[in-house]
Amino acid sequence: MALGVRQFINVAGIVKDLKSFNFSLYGRWFGYINIFLCIALGIANLFHVSAVIAFGIVAIVQGLIILFVEIPFLLKICPLSDNFIEFIKRFETNGYRTLFYVVMAVIQWCSIAVQATSLIVVAVGLTISACSYAVALTKHQEFQNTHILKDPTSDDFPHEAVVREML
């Protein structure tokens, strides 16, 4: 029996998230997209022969920080300093996440002053996340977690025997 990624993804939960009209969920979804955009386009911009390289490095670092902000489970399993963990735990409300994404978006928008590159996509993505969290803040919506992964206690979740068989 092959174990696929689809067995861990909760499609019904994703649909429920999209229909909820809770903008903190939308901000989190764009945050997940921003992880990939920041890292991929940051690496792509390391090959310029200008000061854009600095913004590419900053984009990679931003992608890694967003990874820990949006997936707090990683704070428990990765060996990190206590200062970094406390810094990341500050962003557990819509207001702080709005501020966080606005600052990061402004940094990437400044890269246009040096040269117009694909980092504009990173800036737009970060701006969309900031706007989503800002709308959630102004609508007084609760900060929620997404339902992208299945609940490990559900019956459809792959059990240890399936994982052992795969290994």
pLDDT one digit per residue (tens) for the chain, 167 residues? 455 556 556 666 666 666 667 888 888 889 999 999 999 999 999 988 888 999 999 999 999 999 999 888 888 888 888 898 898 888 888 889 999 999 999 999 999 999 888 899 999 999 999 999 999 999 888 766 655 554 445 555 455 545 555 55
Note down the domain range covering 30: 22-146
Q: Is residue 120 part of a domain?
A: yes
Q: Is residue 32 part of a domain?
A: yes
**pTM to 2 decimals?**
0.78
> Which amino acid, one-letter code, is at 92?
E
Q: Is residue 134 part of a domain?
A: yes
> Which amino acid, one-letter code, is at 32?
Y
Total number of domains in the chain? 1
Q: Is residue 156 part of a domain?
A: no
Q: Is residue 159 part of a domain?
A: no
Q: Is residue 7 part of a domain?
A: no
Q: Is residue 158 part of a domain?
A: no
Q: Is residue 112 part of a domain?
A: yes
Three-state secondary-structure class, residue 149: strand
| Contact assessment for residue 30 and residue 132, using Cβ atoms and an 8 Å cutoff | yes
Separation CA 164–CA 167 (nearest Å): 5
Contacts of 127 (CB under 8 A, 6+ apart): 101, 105, 109
